[in-house]
Amino acid sequence: MTGLSKQRRRSGLALAGPIAMALLLAGCQGDTPLPPPGTQRPPSSVARPVPGAVHFTAQGDIGLGSGAREVLDTVSGLRPELNLALGDFSYEAGREQEFCDMVTGKLGGDFPYEVVTGNHESDGHDGDIANIVNCLPNRLSGMQGEYGTQWYADYPERKPLVRFIMLSPGIKFRDGNTLDYASGSERWQWTAAALDDARSKQIPWTVVGMHTPCLSVGRYSCQAGQDLTNLLIDKKADLVLSGHDHIYQRSHQLGPGQECPLLVPDTFSAGCLASSGGTMAQGAGTVFVTVGTGGVGLYDVDDQDPEAGYFAAWSGKNRDAALGTLDVTATKDRLSAKFVPANGYTFTDSFSIGRK
C-alpha cells in the first residue's frame, strides 16, 4: 500500500469550489446481536427505513478473502439502509467484477453500497475505480459531484437527517498526482461549501468519508492533509470516517479553541480535546473513526504514538484484533455508533453524539 510510514520507537514518546460547481459536476436502533455464521440478506432486498432514523454501516480495506465475506455477512445481519465503502476493494486489477458480485451476492443487487476510491484502485495498479463505479453504481437520489471520487448526498432525500460527503485526499491517481485539498484550493472550497450548505439547510448531521486518515496510532502519517483535517474540525463536521490503516480507532471529540488554534499531526495537545467521554454534544467538535477492518489483514497499533492521546479506543493485529464494521443510527436528536465485530471476534466500541 502506498503512503508514508510513521517513524517511531515503542519506547519513545510517542497528531473546493462552491456548491454550484457540484451541481455542474452531477447532475433509534439499540444494540444488534451478531448474526449466525453465514447469515446474509436475500438478494435484491433493501432494509425498510425506520421512520425518523437513518441506519448505515461503514468500513474500508475489504479484499476478496474469507474475512471480507465474514464482514459482509455481519453487515447483512445488521440490515442497514446503506453502506459507506471507504476504499480499497478487490486489491487486484481485473477482479473488480468479482468483488462487485461478492457484495451484491451478500447484500442484494439494489442495495446502496456507496463507494469512494482507495489508493489501490485510484491509479489502476490494483484495480480501477471506474470499474467499481460501473458495477456498484450510486443508488442515492440527488447525489452531487463525481461518484467514487468526490460527491455528497442527503439522506433521506426528503427531510434529510444526514449529509454524506465523500472525498479523496492523499492518494495518487492515474496522472501520478494527488487531488489538491490544500487550504483555499478548489476541492477545499467545495468541501467547505458542502458543509456550510448542510448547516444552512438545517440537516441535523454531517458525515464525511474518505480513504485516508490524518491522525492514527497505526502505520501511516497524515495523508489526508493537515489543512483538510483542520477544515473539518473548524466546520464542526460531526463524524469523519476513513480506512487505509487496517485497524479500528476512534478519537475523542476534537474541537478548536484558544488552546488549539490548529491541530498539528504527530503531536498531542490536550487543548484540542473538546470532550473525552463516550457521550458527546454536537457542536463541540468532530469525532474521527478509522474502520480499516473490512476484511484484509490487520496492522499493529502503537499506544506510544504521539497522537495516542487523541484516541478513546483502538484495535489492531497486536491488540484486541477484530475485523468488523461501524454500525451507525442517526435520528434528529442523536447519532449513535457501535463497532460490530465479525463472527469469531469480540472487540467492540460505542459512542454517541446528542444535539442540544
Q: What is the pLDDT along the chain (356 residues), one digit of tens a residue?
A: 444 445 443 333 333 444 444 433 444 333 333 344 444 555 545 666 777 999 999 999 999 999 999 999 999 999 999 999 999 999 999 999 999 999 999 999 999 999 999 999 999 999 999 999 999 999 999 999 999 999 999 999 999 999 999 999 999 999 999 999 999 999 999 999 999 999 999 999 999 999 999 999 999 999 999 999 999 999 999 999 999 999 999 999 999 888 899 999 999 999 999 999 899 999 999 999 999 999 999 999 999 999 999 999 999 999 999 999 999 999 999 999 999 999 999 999 999 999 98
Query: Distance between CA atoms of 273 and 215, rounded to whole angstroms?
Result: 13
Residue 29 lies in a domain: yes
Domain total of the chain: 1
Question: What's the one-letter identity of residue 163?
Answer: R
Residue 12 lies in a domain: no
Task: Compute the radius of gyration of the chain from its Cα atoms.
Answer: 18
Residue 298 lies in a domain: yes
Tell how many helices (H) and how many strands (E) occur in the chain.
Answer: 7, 17
- The CATH number given to whatever domain includes residue 236 is 3.60.21.10
Residue 307 lies in a domain: yes
Regarding pTM above 0.75, the answer is: yes
Residue 70 lies in a domain: yes
Residue 4 lies in a domain: no
Query: Distance between CA atoms of 70 and 334, rounded to whole angstroms?
Result: 29
Residue-number span of the structural domain to which 286 is assigned: 19-354
C-alpha dihedral, 97 to 297 to 164 to 251, nearest 10°:
180
Residue 7 lies in a domain: no
Q: Which three cell numbers stand for residue 52?
A: 425518523
User: How many other C-beta atoms can be found within 10 angstroms of the C-beta atom of residue 337?
Assistant: 24
